[in-house]
Structure 1
């Protein structure tokens, strides 16, 4: 069975490399056909210098979309073959400019003939195709520029793993986990305060008996995240004590808990959700913004660590 048929789109990189290897192998023969002694990967740098005569490495890198280090290595190899020369910029003596040497310039006429013939041959190839490969490559590069393949795969992984997360109501046996998860993150960034201990040591008396609710997130049977709704008045609840185990980061547990708490608050007839946090917790603040919370200026906080208050008006 053909590997690429079996592996499918998972083998995108391998298949592109295979195609690249095939084209590169032919390119070496084509350079020989025109007596142009260039390595195929030198072509973008050589072509830019042939067209614009004098350029800095940084300028070439920007033009051809390669790294400064990659272009520098190519230039180093080309210098060994006496194809390029370096001079100081007349306006800025600290800036090194590159240009083709006499040997390099002597190759330009043959290269231009090669470019013309290759262009026509490739256009013929594309006309034989059902799909426009060039446009597809341009579109692929654009879309990967919007979101690279790593991020796309990571999002799929998060989506798959988040399907295994179950949000459920707090039970008395969850009290230790509720406390431990919160203590873990608070002590990692700040210090545990008296106000924390009131709710963490007695969630039933401090939260539940006062009309509040606690939700927990189970992943593969283990409680990995918690969040509480503290009743402030008949129309307002505070989103508080959200904590997710570091071992479960990247599984959208915070997002799922936040959404579940919002839906729970709506079901309770709440008109607003309030929360307090610290701008040091950038991922948390980003999550709250994503959930729809807006910064407000409220009453003084009972928490020393709090430096931002946010509110969500419920539909």
Structure 2
């Protein structure tokens, strides 16, 4: 259709619904052709009960991949039509089992042993005529979407596009307020500000920059929405600590944390660092996951000035 040529792939769902509607309309007419008073949407429930006998509504829903409310509604409709016996006795009185009535069994025999055979041959002929095997393609798409949903795929593309508008720049005095506010907001949200926080955030030049460290700022549309510091350590095991990473909640989904982390690591490499160190808390699951993705590994046993620290990590730049 010309409409779908104009919209492109973004209207895939609409096109599939249109195709489904066409096939559903034909399905209703096919039941009439075989003189069967039956709704196409009932078929999955009928087939499962015909093949496997009595089941609970929950079991039927799991078997056919429908929601329990949807199956409950179908069961009610089929019961009214006289196809379902909803009072089947079960060894377990807690299980409300449903099954086909005699009328349901008779109709299922006609559908499965006569109508379905003709439909199978008709669909096979359609597949043979087509350039692409839709049945196999649907199975492949179902598998791929199970691995990664369309929503997640679109979210990744959105992040990728928006991350192109993010600029990572070095600290300037005009960013001191953002450096303090972004950090204070997230720290206060989960923990409490400590003495070491106030020193670094109120006097970044004195406690970070003048000691050989760096501060990077993430700008989105020229607004500072993320910060991260590289603090020089007086330690034989580590050159720098990656610290004071904070991202504004309104910047979520733009990969700013990842971009900042990668930029800090690149900056540390430029400065000749061989090992980085960081401290965090396991309550910050997204942050911990990010650190692992950046290559940091968990370590133990180092002293810390922060009460909130319950995980320490390191990154060996020689291995990365």
Q: Hey, what's the Cα distance between the residues in 1 that align with 2:110 and 2:90?
A: 31
Give 1:124's aligned residue: 125
Give 1:205's aligned residue: 206
Q: Hey, what's the Cα distance between the residues in 2 that align with 1:223 and 1:171?
A: 11
Q: Hey, what's the Cα distance between the residues in 2 that align with 1:150 and 1:268?
A: 40
Residues 135-178 of structure 1, C-alpha deviations (whole Å, 9 max, x = no match)? 10000000000000000000000000000000011111111111
Checking the alignment, whether the CA contact within 8 Å between 1:167 and 1:260 is kept in structure 2 is yes
Give 1:192's aligned residue: 193
Q: Hey, what's the Cα distance between the residues in 2 that align with 1:207 and 1:230?
A: 6
Checking the alignment, whether the CA contact within 8 Å between 1:213 and 1:228 is kept in structure 2 is yes
Residues 20-68 of structure 1, C-alpha deviations (whole Å, 9 max, x = no match)? 0000000000001112221111100001111122222222222211122
Q: Give the alignment's TM-score, normalised by structure 1.
A: 0.97
User: Structure 1 pair 89/308, CA: closer, same or farther in 2 (3 Å)?
Assistant: farther
Give 2:284's aligned residue: 281
- Partner of 2:32, secondary structure, is helix
Q: What is the alpha-carbon root mean square deviation over aligned residues?
A: 1.3
Q: Which runs of 5+ in 2 are unaligned?
A: none
Checking the alignment, whether the CA contact within 8 Å between 2:88 and 2:99 is kept in structure 1 is no
Q: Hey, what's the Cα distance between the residues in 1 that align with 2:4 and 2:40?
A: 26
Stretch moving more, 198-207 or 54-63? 54-63
Shift of 1:88: 5.0
Q: Which runs of 5+ in 1 are unaligned?
A: none
Give 1:269's aligned residue: 272
Shift of 1:89: 5.1
Stretch moving more, 77-86 or 144-153? 77-86
Q: Hey, what's the Cα distance between the residues in 1 that align with 2:178 and 2:224?
A: 7
Give 1:44's aligned residue: 44
* Counterpart pick for 1:242 among 222, 242, 245: 245
Give 2:310's aligned residue: 307
Stretch moving more, 73-82 or 221-230? 73-82
Aligned residues: 315
Q: Do residues 57 (structure 1) and 57 (structure 2) align?
A: yes
Checking the alignment, whether the CA contact within 8 Å between 1:88 and 1:94 is kept in structure 2 is no
